[in-house]
Homo-oligomer: A and B are copies of this chain.
Amino acid sequence: MSSKLFKQTLFDHLARVGKAVGQGHRLAMLEYLAQGERTVEALAGLTGLSVANTSKHLQQLRQSGLVFARKEGLYVHYRLSDPDVITLLGVIRRLAERHLGEVEALVNSYLLAKDAMEPLPREALLARMREGTVTVLDVRPPEEYAAGHLPRAFNIPLKELERRLHELPPGREVVAYCRGAYCVLSFEAVAWLREKGFIARRLEEGFPEWKLAAFPVENFLMEEIS
């Protein structure tokens, strides 16, 4: 086999990974899977696609090596094959944010000015957690919280925030996080908390990235094989 042919077939194989992340719906699925295992039906619901279509996309993801499937009874559970898939999504996001004007514009217009939420990098939050000078707030649904969350984080889903506001220690800065850099929940939580007089800001990225960076995590259920 010639060097040229080798190179080309090699790159053609690598391109299968690229193709897999070359479609919006598949990226959305990967982002949901970054939270934990999901069945076909669940993903179809989350993405709004037909079950058959969802199934077909998941098989492409499987053939490109990005996800694994596990059958349990009637259900097939899909999960990320490798934590580096989260790295991949992160690099794509950063590149798009930096070089695709539309993305920056879209994010800033929809997310009420991304930077106004004073996003805090992981390392900084960890330091402040160790000092004990900050309240960490997880605004994801309880199932996702149960599958893993930041140490000593409060779990108050966005909808319940008003009702359960008294649970938060008053007078301490709050750092909210949820699923990822673009997860709307934490933006709204911060905006709302500020209205109520809290000092609040966002964690820059979400739980998957925190866990990927091998930062400390608490588990209640063992849904995840960390």
Q: Which of the residues B11, B48, B103 comes within 8 Å of A10, measured between beta carbons?
A: B103
Known contacts: A15-B21, A18-B92, A23-B18. The answer to whether A184 contacts B3 by CB under 8 A is: yes
Interface size class of A (residues with CB under 8 A): 35 or more
A87 touches B91 (CB 8 A): yes
Q: State whether the Cβ of A199 lies closer than 8 Å to any Cβ in chain B.
A: no
In angstroms, Cα B100 to Cα A64, docked, is 7
Q: Contact flags (1/0) for A14-28 with B, using CB distance below 8 Å?
A: 111111111111111
User: Contacts A6-B106, A82-B95, A96-B65 hold; do A27 and B48 have CB atoms under 8 A apart?
Assistant: no
State the Cβ distance, A191 to closest chain B Cβ, in Å: 14
Task: Given A16-B96, A17-B96, A92-B17, check contact A28 B48 (CB 8 Å).
Answer: no
Q: Which of B4, B13, B107, B110 contacts A48 (CB 8 A)?
A: B4
Contacts of A99 in B (CB 8 A): 65-66, 81-82
Q: Which residues of B contact A1 (CB under 8 A)?
A: 110
Q: Is the pair A18, B22 in contact by a Cβ cutoff of 8 Å?
A: yes
Contact residue among B8, B13, B93 (Cβ-Cβ distance under 8 Å from A14): B93
- Contacting residues, chain B, for A98 (C-beta < 8 A): 65, 82, 84
- With A22-B18, A22-B22, A28-B7 already in contact, the answer to whether A13 and B103 are too (CB < 8 A) is yes
A88 at the interface (CB under 8 A from B): yes
**Contact present for A7 and B103 (CB under 8 Å):** no
B17–A95 touching, CB < 8 Å: yes
User: A16, A96, A110 — which one has the most chain B CB atoms within 10 A of its CB?
Assistant: A96
State whether A95 and B91 are in contact (beta carbons under 8 Å apart), knowing that A15-B23, A21-B18 are contacts in the complex.
no
Assess whether A94 is interfacial by the CB under 8 Å rule. Answer: yes
Judging by beta carbons under 8 Å apart, are A22 and B15 in contact? yes
CB proximity of A140 to chain B, nearest CB, Å? 15
**Can you list 14 contacts pairing A with B, beta carbon distance less than 8 Å?**
A8-B24, A10-B106, A11-B27, A11-B28, A15-B24, A18-B20, A19-B22, A19-B23, A65-B95, A66-B95, A66-B99, A82-B95, A85-B95, A88-B91
Having A14-B96, A15-B21, one finds 8 other A-B pairs with CB under 8 Å, namely A8-B24, A17-B21, A19-B19, A66-B95, A81-B99, A87-B91, A88-B95, A91-B91
